[in-house]
Amino acid sequence: MNPAMQDQESDKPPSSPPRPARPWRVAVLANIKEHDKPLPSDVPPDTGADYDYIETINLIRAALETDGHWTMFIPADSNLPYALKTAKPDICFNIAEGLGGDAREAQIPALLELLKIPYTGSRVLTNAIALDKTLTKRIWRDRRLPVAPFQEFHTGEEPLRPELRFPLFVKPAREGTGMGVDARAIVHNEGELRERARYVVSMYKQPALVETYLSGREFTVAIMGRPDSRLYSLHPEWYDADGFHRFPILELDSTRSVTPGVYGLEAKAQSIGSQGAPGYICPAQVEPDLAKKLQHYAWRGHHLLGALDVSRVDFRLDSEGNPCLLEINPLPGLTPDYSDLCLIANADGISYTDLILEILYLGASRWNMLAPREIPLPPPKKRG
């Protein structure tokens, strides 16, 4: 602990929130949507769909500033290394998706590690693996988490493995935000499969992940914390005794959406409540047994990928009602009243400001920027 921090802490009553010795300089790092810039002809039409609106950055900054911190926005582009040297932030609030390559969501964490600058959320390896849905599923399958049978296609011409039965689902292995996913992702025969797999490989310049089509309900489950989070959190009362906060489960009901049965980019882009938008139900109405499984698998999935502080795991049920993990989002979207995590936090009674500050404080404490809260702690939440 640095001495200034120690002095300040010693003036505090025992269970006061953990405070930094001085306000931090927090740089929000993100890639911003550029509507006015035409896309190059050799990239997919939905390139940049996962980038953020400048309004979201401003709201994140406003949330951080409520706690007294200085904030700035730095675009996560090729100028970032120089901008960071000039700006000298104490910590970066990272929501950057990165620019191209095979692990773009890991680019900014890798740069920050190189420059030894603290940052929020998951680190390099987790972000790199999580962007690759095939690698993620291999890790989960190895530890017996339920995933649909799958096969990765590199050309689209590979012989189909016998365990894969139609209908199948074809998606880019390394995208997010429903990019490359629409109603044609469901394929019913060999011809449709080949056509879609070739399209994904050539358009997205990456492997196509082919999976059993999971026809059941869809859920996304967010988790926050770590074993010692209650020592650093501004809200230790949110956490279970194991240090994790289980958010309520969100169900995505795509039955009447623009792309029935598929929560892809077009469906995600519909304004909530409008015709053609999926239904967002939080807390989802699920049997206690299923809820328990979803929460447990989300926690295991988060843990096995080494995700830090906050993530969201997507699920679908198979035709027999068994949950299967689809993917993990260690950089969940933070657009208020729109992104799944924000809807979930809202349903959980957690304000946007509190969510953002929690991500900052959990992150900062891993970089030794905060002294632990002194005991006594409030009792952990009782799990229902």
- Closest distance between ligand ADP and the C-beta of residue 218, in Å? 5
Q: Does 218 bind ligand ADP (CB under 6 A)?
A: yes
- What are the residues binding Mg ion (CB under 5 A)? 314
Respond yes or no on whether the N-terminal peptide bond of residue 44 is cis (omega within 30° of 0).
no
Sheet of strand 91-94: strand arrangement = 70-75, 25-30, 91-94
Q: How far is the CB of 181 from ligand ADP (least distance, A)?
A: 5
Q: Which helix (H) or strand (E) holds 7?
A: helix 3-10
Binding mask 259-298 for ligand ADP (x = CB under 6 A): ---xxx----------------------------------
CB nearer to Mg ion: give 245 or 312: 312
Give the one residue of 126, 136, 151, 177 binding ligand ADP; rule: CB under 6 A.
177
Q: Which is nearest to 282 in space by CA: 248, 246, 320?
A: 248
Pick the closest to residue 152 from 139, 127, 170, 167 (CA basis): 170
332 binds ligand ADP (CB under 6 A): no
CA atoms within 13 A on the CB side of 314: 22
Task: Check the CA dihedral 69-71-77-83 and report its sign.
Answer: negative
Q: Which residues contact 350 (CB under 8 A, 6 or more apart)?
A: 238, 358
Chosen from Mg ion, ligand ADP, none, partner binding at 5 (C-beta under 5 to 8 Å by type) = none
Strand 25-30, strand 70-75: pairing: parallel
Query: Torsions phi, psi of 195, nearest 5?
Result: -65, -45
- CA–CA distance, 170 with 192 (Å, rounded to integer): 10
Rule CB under 6 A: is residue 178 a binding residue for ligand ADP?
yes
Q: If binding is defined by CB under 6 A, does position 326 make contact with ligand ADP?
A: yes
Among Mg ion, ligand ADP, none, what binds residue 213 when CB lies within 5 to 8 Å by partner kind? ligand ADP
Pick the binder of ligand ADP from 24, 119, 213, 299 (CB under 6 A).
213
Residue closer to ligand ADP, measured from CB, 91 or 214:
214
- Of ligand ADP, Mg ion, none, which one does residue 263 interact with (CB within 5 to 8 Å by kind)? ligand ADP
In the complex, what is the shortest distance from the CB of residue 232 to ligand ADP, in angstroms, rounded to a whole number? 30
Total interface residues for ligand ADP by CB under 6 A: 21
316 binds ligand ADP (CB under 6 A): yes
Which residue's Cβ has the minimum distance to ligand ADP?
Answer: 263
Between 117 and 214, whose beta carbon lies closer to ligand ADP?
Answer: 214
Least distance in Å: CB of 287 to ligand ADP? 21
Binding residue for ligand ADP, selected from 92, 147, 181, 355, defined by CB under 6 A: 181
- Measure the CA–CA gap between 334 and 59, rounded to whole angstroms: 10
Query: Counting contacts by CB under 6 A, is residue 169 touching ligand ADP?
Result: yes
Who's near 74: CB < 8 A, 6+ residues apart? 27, 28, 29, 80, 83, 84, 87, 89, 92
What's the CA gap between 331 and 42, in Å, rounded? 26
The residue sitting closest to Mg ion, measured at its beta carbon, is 314
What is the full DSSP assignment across 63-119? HHHTTT-EEEEEE-STTHHHHHHHH--SEEEE----SSSS-GGGHHHHHHHHHT--B
Residues within the interface to ligand ADP (CB under 6 A) = 133, 148, 169, 171, 175-179, 181, 211, 213-214, 218, 262-264, 314, 316, 326-327
